[in-house]
Amino acid sequence: MIKVLIVDDEPKLRQGLQTLIPWQDLGFIVTATAANGQEALNVVEEQIPDVVIVDIRMPVMDGLQFIQRLSALDVPMHVHVIILSGHADFDYARRAIKYGVAGYLLKPVDIHEMSALLKQVRERMEGERAKGEQRRFGKANRDLLVQHLLIPQEEAHHPSNVRSALQEADLLWDNYEVVLVSPQVPEADRSDALIRLSQGLKARMEPSKQGVVTIIASYVALLLQAPLRGKDRRLDLYRELQDAAEEVRFVAATGGAVSVPEEIRLSYGKAQEAVKRAFFSKEDGLLGPSSPCYPVPVTSLSSGEPSEAMMEELIFRLYYSLDVGNHAMILPLLEEAAACFIGQGHNEKSVKESFFFLSNTVIHKLGSGLRMERKEMESVSRFLNEIYQYGRLDELLEGIRRFLVELATDAEPSGHEQEFKKMIDFINRHYADNLKLETLARLLNYSTAYLGQLFKNRTGEYFNTYVDKVRIEKAKELLAGGMKVYEAAERVGYTSVNYFHSKFKRYEGRSPSDYKNP
């Protein structure tokens, strides 16, 4: 509805105009009235009406003074003024017409004349609005036009004629393709990064009429005129993006080509989804709707934390692989962990949180056997914080692998003798854990049968017997130091005191209590 302000010092006339004119049928609504020009100015500043119907002769501030003051007001839209006057005021009213008033009516007001004039004012306003839209969406505002095409707007905010607006802005093309670029920077630096990237791309893309560059949401958006057909064309564009981004890391994705302006938003939506999946992507360069990637969570929230047993198993296998020097197993184990997290519906943030916990725990276990210097501790802290900065899952996994391997105490062993020595050392340090020959065989890439035979040949004992004897020897030391039998049993890895009793008597021929100091 077009808002109307009625200004007249006669209450009956104000009331008569409100009731006699079919405002609603004509597309208008009376939102306020005023008794003089000064009151009217106050209303205009507060409500900003579209149309003011004002009498010429009024006290305090007459109609002519009001129109003069109105033209000086800083209002965001043009206000249409209709003058009311008697026959004697015609010359006076004529002076007001030079200010560009919308119409002039004599008192007493004829309903039909007023209705006809209001229709003319409405048509004029509609024409002005259409021209304003064309100016708004013309060459001077190509960015705004592109943004309206990328994201669906309410009908009231759309240009009345999209194609004419595109033609005026020189954007009526045979094809369109949207590419979104997302700088991989901390949130505090994102705004500056978007501006710099946008300016760099504008200088490269727009003079050659490759397309239009704008900033929308948290992306730099490119609306391209020619579809990106073929790997070479996509690679050329990606290199241009790299040149414009300079040293800033980014993710870029295309939404594919469309042939009509109304489908531009579809290309934008597909590009947006591809950017969101970028962390799980398995390829470099410009991503697209069909780019291969790890299975992506269907929800934006994690469906549940990894189970305690699952995390313990992953930590156990990672730590022991590092401890025995089987560095080749680290990346496959990390990939297995990623598959577990993704399978539980984790998004990028929760995957990184899970790997932070996993890495921190493994580092802690490795560090318990190391004398870490201050520089090494700082390196660990820096590495853990960098987990959240990785833009791709495969890069994150490789970064974790590299750091853990570098942190491990021993280099990767070579030859059976070194491997055997490491295994013996491993048992002597981890006798209290739930050691199994199958676990060590898997970590050392041997079959269980082969490793068991190798162990028997070198030690003269079966694996389980050797572990039991190591445990019993350690238990004897603990008992001699005054530790209770059940405490010593738990300390060396036996969950059952009775089982510990039988093992101890079998190998030592005496009861554990015989080794306790009186």
Residue 124 in any domain: the answer is: yes
Strand (E) or helix (H) holding 518: none
Q: Are residues 150 and 275 in the same domain?
A: yes
Q: Are residues 12 and 126 in the same domain?
A: yes
Last residue of a domain, one of 93, 119, 134: 134
Residue 287 in any domain: the answer is: no
Last residue of a domain, one of 117, 134, 151: 134
Q: Are residues 358 and 422 in the same domain?
A: no
Is-contact 102 83, C-beta < 8 A? no
Phi-psi category of residue 3: left, alpha or beta, with phi > 0 → left and psi -120 to 50 → alpha: beta
Cα 483–Cα 486–Cα 492 angle in degrees, nearest 5 = 80
Q: Are residues 440 and 399 in the same domain?
A: no
- Indicate the length of the chain as a whole number: 518
Q: Count helices and strands (H / E) in the chain.
A: 22, 9
Q: Are residues 128 and 145 in the same domain?
A: no
Q: Are residues 207 and 96 in the same domain?
A: no
Last residue of a domain, one of 96, 116, 134: 134
Residue 289 in any domain: the answer is: no
CA–CA distance, 183 with 169 (Å, rounded to integer): 28
Q: Are residues 378 and 486 in the same domain?
A: no
Looking at the structure of the chain, the number of domains it has is: 4
Question: What range defines the domain where residue 351 resides?
Answer: 308-363+370-404
CATH code at position 426: 1.10.10.60
Closest CA to 218 of 194, 251, 192: 194
Q: Are residues 432 and 476 in the same domain?
A: yes
Per-residue pLDDT of the chain (518 residues; tens, 9 = 90+): 899 999 999 999 999 999 999 999 899 999 999 999 999 998 988 888 999 999 988 899 988 888 888 877 755 457 899 988 876 666 666 666 666 788 888 888 889 999 999 998 888 888 777 665 555 444 446 777 787 788 755 443 444 567 777 887 788 899 999 999 999 887 778 888 898 899 899 888 888 889 999 988 789 999 999 889 888 888 999 999 999 888 888 889 999 999 988 899 999 999 998 888 888 887 778 888 877 666 654 443 344 555 677 888 888 888 878 876 778 889 999 998 988 888 887 888 889 999 999 999 888 877 765 555 666 678 888 898 889 888 889 889 999 999 988 887 543 444 555 667 777 888 888 888 888 888 878 777 778 887 787 788 778 888 899 999 999 989 988 888 888 889 999 999 998 988 898 889 888 888 888 876 55
Beta bridge partners of 178: 223
CATH code at position 121: 3.40.50.2300
Q: Are residues 212 and 100 in the same domain?
A: no
| pTM of structure | 0.50
Sheet containing 51-55: give its strands across: 28-34, 2-7, 51-55, 80-85, 103-106
Cα 452–Cα 469–Cα 371 angle in degrees, nearest 5 = 90
Residue 411 in any domain: the answer is: no
